């Protein structure tokens, strides 16, 4: 299983950075794009650099309707793609998407395909969903910004198995003890305490940058990017 960061505030040499988040999950022969960043031009540039065509994407998952997570969507939509988004998205936006791809509205927990699950939309002010990936050695939780609270999203993902990793935006999450039992911690995008997390868990945490590839061998991190 491979994870490729395609959009983030930071970028490896040769890739473009931007405010937002997007990553590609390759699982059981299918490609799942989680969020699309803001600038579609930068997203497409990074995808081309990583050797990924939009037509190769089978599933697109949107965590929430903030511009820095859905701005690049129009660049990657295609008629064969299945798009999973919180049902709280506006009717107009859902209609636009449904005219260009297969739309799936998510309210509660759902299995997207074998080993890929959505928590369902959570939170009050900002409705957001996270993706749970069965790595073969526990559940990796992938988040957009974690507006409802990273602990809330982790608890929701726990219904699918033991949570062993988390990746994405952690927002203002400060209950860092909660991360102590994880094997994999990848704070990205809008994580306020990113440096503190990496310093506190040097053997399990790593930086996040566009262009970074993480290969999961039974849930363990391997691949390009900087270890700390």
pLDDT in tens, 105-152: 999 999 999 999 999 999 998 999 999 999 999 999 999 999 999 999
pLDDT of residue 216: 83
pLDDT of residue 227: 35
pLDDT of residue 228: 33
pLDDT of residue 183: 95
CB 141 within 8 A of CB 185: no
Per residue in 181-198, pLDDT (tens digit) is 999 999 999 999 999 999
Q: What angle do CA 81, 79, 112 make, to 5 degrees?
A: 20
Cβ neighbours of residue 188 closer than 8 Å, sequence gap 6 or more: 5, 8, 9, 21, 167, 168, 169, 208
DSSP secondary structure code for residue 205 in this structure: B
Q: What angle do CA 23, 27, 28 make, to 5 degrees?
A: 160
Quote the tokens at residue 20: 């937002």
pLDDT of residue 222: 54
Cβ neighbours of residue 127 closer than 8 Å, sequence gap 6 or more: 64, 86, 88, 121
CB 140 within 8 A of CB 166: yes
Q: What is the CA radius of gyration of the chain?
A: 16
Per residue in 57-107, pLDDT (tens digit) is 999 999 999 999 999 999 999 999 999 999 999 999 999 999 999 999 999
Tell me if the pTM is above 0.85: yes
Class of domain 2-216: alpha beta
Could you identify the residue written with the tokens 């995808």? 47
């Amino acid at each position: 299983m491979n994870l490729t960061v395609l959009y983030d505030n930071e970028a490896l040499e040769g890739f473009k950075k931007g405010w937002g988040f997007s990553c590609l999950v390759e699982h059981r022969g299918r490609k799942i794009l989680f969020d699309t960043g803001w600038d579609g031009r930068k997203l497409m540039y990074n995808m081309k650099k990583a050797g990924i065509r939009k037509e190769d994407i089978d599933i697109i998952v949107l965590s929430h309707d903030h511009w820095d997570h859905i701005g690049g969507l129009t660049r990657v939509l295609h008629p064969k793609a299945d798009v999973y988004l919180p049902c709280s998205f506006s009717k107009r936006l859902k209609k636009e998407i449904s005219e260009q791809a297969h739309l799936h509205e998510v309210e509660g927990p759902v299995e997207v395909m074998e080993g890929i699950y959505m928590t369902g939309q959570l939170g009050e002010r900002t409705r957001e969903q996270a993706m749970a990936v069965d790595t073969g050695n526990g559940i990796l939780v992938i988040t957009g910004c974690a507006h409802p609270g990273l602990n809330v999203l982790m608890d929701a993902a726990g219904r699918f198995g033991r949570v062993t990793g988390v990746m994405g935006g952690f927002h203002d999450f400060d209950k860092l003890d909660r991360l102590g039992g994880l094997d994999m911690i990848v704070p990205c995008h809008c994580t306020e305490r990113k440096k503190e997390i990496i310093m506190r868990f040097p053997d399990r945490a790593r930086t996040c940058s566009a262009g970074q590839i993480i290969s999961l061998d039974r849930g363990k991190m391997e691949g390009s990017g900087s270890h700390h």
